[in-house]
A and B are shown apart, each in its own frame.
Chain A
Amino acid sequence: MTPNVHRQSANLSTSGPRAGAVVGVAHDEKPQGGVRRRAKRPVSGALGVLIVGFWLLMALAGPWLAPHGANALVGFEVFGPISLEYPLGTDFLGRDILSRLLHGAPYTIGVALAATVLACLFGVVLGLVAAASGGWLDAVISRTQDALIAIPNKIFALIMVAAFGSSVPLLLVMAAFAYMPGSYRIARAVAVNVMTMDFVQVARARGEALPYIMFVEVLPNMLRPVLTDFGLRFVYVVLLLSAMSFLGLGVQPPEADWGSLVRENIQGLGDGAPAVLAPAIAIATLTVGVNLIIDSFGARAKREMES
């Protein structure tokens, strides 16, 4: 008989005070699970970790590993094919694509990561504050975030760049700002559910202050959805930054992130030049890798729910 210990969220038990209670507990002297559940991540999740781990490493070590400088005109051939000397071919000016890809990795991954961390950090903290305090503060924060969420991300990004000109700090702040409301919505929704749990009531009745309740009681219980959301949001930010670069409004030449690599080599597309395919594949693998990890989170949560 499986004890329904996972039926924890208050909104799931709809019936009387004792409903489900009697079947929901096990023997007094018999613990329910001897050993802590060991998380088994499926193969796809491991693959995702492998891919993302690889790219994170490249973001850190890429510029040092690159055989040539980012802007070194090394090849005589433009849109050169894959060769021993230039493993991913050369670009429209005869620069080594592998080197440019490795030099671009910190921009694409680093800026996206920083922007996502900022977006989630502010989103989660605001969500917690709103859920824990409720009342007018909740209303003010929520309506402000609703107003922000109403602006389409790409339009917002275009306006910001048009107004202030493109630079890495601007892109970072812009992306963080654009994706904060979504993160806030998720965090607040989860936090509101956790706030109704009895252990939060216990903490309130103990006389705990709001920060303790928010960060010690509530936050640990919302980490999984928040992390899942973080991964998803990271993918969106990568795509937004790449799209901005593709439009020529992202990282400015001569520096290049992956999105601008695709754009500047777009003429090679007709010839199937590796110069345009390689950065596109890099973007694709990064986003797919992150998604694989997220999916394995979700699958694990589902398995635990079933057991």
Chain B
Amino acid sequence: MNDIVKVAGLRVAARNDAGVDVPIVHGADFTLKKGEVLALIGESGSGKTTIALALMGYARAGCRIVGGSVRIGDVEVLEQSDASLAKLRGRTVAYIAQSAAAAFNPAKTIMEQVIESALIHGVMSRRAAQAKAVELFRALALPDPDNIGARYPHQVSGGQLQRLMAAMALITDPALVILDEPTTALDVTTQIEVLRAFKKVVRDLDTTAVYVSHDLAVVAQMADRIVVLRNGEIQENSRTEQILVEPEHPYTCSLLAAMKPTVSQGAPGRREDQAKEALLLDVRGLDICYGSKRVVQDIDLQVRRGATVGIIGESGSGKTTVARAIAGLVAPSAGQVLLDGQPLSGTLAGRTREQFRRVQYVFQNADTALNPQHTIEEILARPLRFYHGMRSAQRRRRVAELMELVQLPASLATRRPSELSGGQKQRINLARALAAEPDLILCDEVTSALDTVVGAAILELMAELRRELNVSYLFISHDIRTVRSICDEVVVMYAGAKVEQGNRSTFQAPPYHPYTHLLIDSVPEMHQGWLEETRAGRGTLPQIAAPSESMPLCPFLARCPVRIEGKCNKVAPPRVWLEKGSEILCHHTDSDLRHFDELVPAMVVSG
């Protein structure tokens, strides 16, 4: 028998306010062989993290493991005392948490923290542990493996920190590694590097691992088997290829379906009309500086009435800052924002109430965007009173209408935000913006905090509202799939600059800007082997001489796989119109980019 992990009838309960135990995991059974990677997949609340933690004999505050057995090797984990569990954790079972930034102590060097568990468990000497750590750094493809350990956590990037955390977990050669959403907080382009490093290490060291994720496409790259969870129950437990190709359980099918956004918002027939629609928002040459740092440079952006314009980019690309400037929360240092041809003041103080009403901002995180001390009714009634001066009876009627508009029962009006689910909160967030009867809604990552299924429902709702109310959206997202499927026009931002702009059809096929290429290629696809096939983040960058400091150059220069010596590092790139109708910021010509694959130099096709 080579089952290294055997879980049988695992049950976990949470105590609710009334002091009654509510089961949240109902009898989970699964096994893992040596060297196997098992994925636990499900929406939030499905119990995947709870099960993963139970593998270490741990239940979060308020939860309790009430029954079943977890065997790792010959050890029955659930019967261990606290002292022997402490010996087990970090030694036999290691855990890699979602947010490495929160898991590292900022006051200690990386090496100190990576070898800590080896020293605590006394498995090797400090010298041996340090040598092993460097070896792991190398295996995880970290830059400068010999010296990275001397740095502090804030001196490395998020993706590197996540890999360093893997080194921390692997230092004791644990029998089982638990990876809890290790790439969820990362940008797609970073995620791909981390996934590659994880996969290589897991294969090289023959590690047995449990991979917890909500993202089926990511899991498809990593796992041998997938366990699909819903509401604490196992729906399906099969080999990865079977789940992807012929899922048995209807719930698995619905998960697969939700991964492919099918919202067809602007019906194709409408696009010609839109060209005629009046220009609603016109951003001209927008520059924003924080102190001396220029975070947004020279952004031009137009939104027509009833259109959806997407802004896409990695974190730190300045996309949210642009939206905040349009809303007046950040003062631009140069450039203009025009609404219906009327310039909007850069500061809040200079805007009229009518201008405020016409541009509404929907924040990413509905948890923090709704005041926890106000009821839903108060939240929705405020803009009605503020902008429209409605009286109380009229307000109450309108609140009910708004709740209906976002498909929520009117009975929720008396509740507070903490009593709603994530999706419901996001609907209220949207309803509050609609209460103003705006012309333009700035949507900042409105679905990124939600489960795929819930997020898809919100997008569907937004599409419906657009049809009914003819509002325009400025849709900010890091998810190129969503943006491509719902936006009429897409703007790609990198390091504060607009590198590509085009309508939806131009984003269906190359040529793209090299950065757009990278973004598109980095989105995990729902088939095994994608990680090995994709070009993104692979190969070596072309050697160029150090760029001249004084000149403004292409913002993507440092990461561009097709940069040209003598051109890209010398001259600022021009704005080029491609034949298909999009505009890019690049030295390459239309025909060059059409054959992008051949441009990318000698790809190293290996693991």
Listed in ascending order, the chain A residues whose CB lies under 8 Å from chain B are: 1-3, 5, 8, 10, 14-38, 197-199, 201-202, 204-208, 217, 220-221, 306-307
Listed in ascending order, the chain B residues whose CB lies under 8 Å from chain A are: 14, 17, 24, 43-47, 49-50, 60-63, 98-102, 158, 181, 184-187, 214, 315, 327-329, 348, 351, 353, 356-357, 360-361, 363-365, 367-374, 382-383, 386, 415-416, 418-424, 432, 436, 445, 448-451, 453-454, 457, 478
Given contacts A198-B363, A199-B368, contact A22 B214 (CB under 8 A): yes
The 7 lowest CB-CB distance pairs between A and B, nearest first, are A25-B422, A28-B423, A207-B356, A220-B373, A21-B449, A19-B185, A198-B369
Q: Which residue on chain A has the smallest CB distance to residue B383?
A: A206
User: Which DSSP category, helix, strand, loop or mixed, fits chain B's interface?
Assistant: loop
Q: Is the CB of A33 within 8 A of B364?
A: no
Q: Is the CB of A19 within 8 A of B98?
A: yes
Q: Which residue on chain B has the smallest CB distance to residue A10?
A: B368
- CA A217 to CA B379, docked complex, whole Å: 10
By a CB distance below 8 angstroms, the chain B residues around A197 are 368
- CA A1 to CA B214, docked complex, whole Å: 14
- CA A297 to CA B132, docked complex, whole Å: 50
- CA A34 to CA B17, docked complex, whole Å: 10
Q: Is the CB of B49 within 8 A of A1?
A: yes
Given contacts A1-B44, A206-B386, contact A25 B451 (CB under 8 A): yes
Given contacts A15-B158, A204-B348, contact A21 B448 (CB under 8 A): yes
Q: Is the CB of B421 within 8 A of A29?
A: yes
- CA A205 to CA B396, docked complex, whole Å: 23
By a CB distance below 8 angstroms, the chain B residues around A25 are 44-45, 367, 421-423, 449-451, 454
Q: Is the CB of A18 within 8 A of B185?
A: yes
By a CB distance below 8 angstroms, the chain B residues around A202 are 361, 363, 369, 432
Q: Which residue on chain A has the smallest CB distance to residue B15?
A: A307
Given contacts A15-B99, A201-B329, contact A31 B361 (CB under 8 A): no
A84 to chain B, nearest CB (A): 48
- CA A92 to CA B73, docked complex, whole Å: 82
6 more CB-based (< 8 A) A-B contacts, given A19-B101, A27-B454, A33-B419:
A19-B184, A21-B365, A22-B449, A29-B423, A32-B419, A199-B369
Q: Is the CB of A18 within 8 A of B44?
A: no
A3 to chain B, nearest CB (A): 7
- CA A307 to CA B419, docked complex, whole Å: 14
- CA A36 to CA B375, docked complex, whole Å: 12
By a CB distance below 8 angstroms, the chain B residues around A33 are 17, 418-419
A299 to chain B, nearest CB (A): 15
> Which of A8, A16, A23, A220 contacts B367, CB < 8 Å?
A8
Given contacts A2-B63, A18-B185, A202-B361, contact A26 B348 (CB under 8 A): no
Candidate in B62, B327, B424 with the most chain A CB atoms within 10 angstroms: B424
Given contacts A32-B421, A201-B363, contact A20 B98 (CB under 8 A): yes
> Which of B47, B351, B445, B450 contacts A17, CB < 8 Å?
B445
By a CB distance below 8 angstroms, the chain A residues around B46 are 1
By a CB distance below 8 angstroms, the chain B residues around A14 are 99, 101-102
By a CB distance below 8 angstroms, the chain A residues around B158 are 15-16
- CA A29 to CA B425, docked complex, whole Å: 11
